[in-house]
Amino acid sequence: MASTLALRRLALNASRASRTSRTFHSSSRAFIKVGDKIPNLDVLVESSPGNKVNLGEAITGKALIIGVPAAFSPSCSNSHIPGFINHKKLKSAGDIFVVAVNDPFVTKAWGESLDPAGSSGIRFLGDPTAKFTEALDLAFDGTAIFGGPRSKRYVLEIEDGKVKAVHVEPDNTGLNVSTAEKVLG
């Protein structure tokens, strides 16, 4: 009996010691916010794996970065991106980038299906490892629906490499605060 009690104390003390060595944060990480710079990462790809795009370097003036949960998903394909493609103020918004946690072949095919002539000037980028999306702290666990991490639906308004405005859907995938009408007016 005494040896059992001693083992329990030893196990309890070891458990307490391991807990005190862990760090605890009472607040979650913050999304990218107004005034932040765009991450300087060579992880986005356009049309093929070898065509890397670094938005931290590519954006020099006005731009929009539109994040979507998945290429070819109903809301993304039927409403969200077509809303930007067809908006009368699109050209005055600067460079437009659509980022999806997909491979570059999928985003290329998706872009060609939405804008066959490429007349909108929108560039469709894949974030196959979700590294860019994670750097913005705009990833969510989409395993149940999409098979892995995905991007929240968002639009970042950029000026001179810094975030001017942030429009993130509160439920990750809805379509309300990030519509073309709300962003472009």
Cα end-to-end span (Å), the chain: 75
Q: Point out the catalytic residue in the list 76, 98, 114, 166.
A: 76
Amino acid (one-letter) located at 105:
F
Pairing of strands 52-53, 44-45: antiparallel
Amino acid symbol at 49: P
Handedness of CA 172, 173, 178, 182 (dihedral sign): negative
Q: State the DSSP H helix or E strand holding residue 43, giving kind and residue range, or none if neither.
A: none
Active site residue 40: no
Catalytic residue numbers? Answer: 76
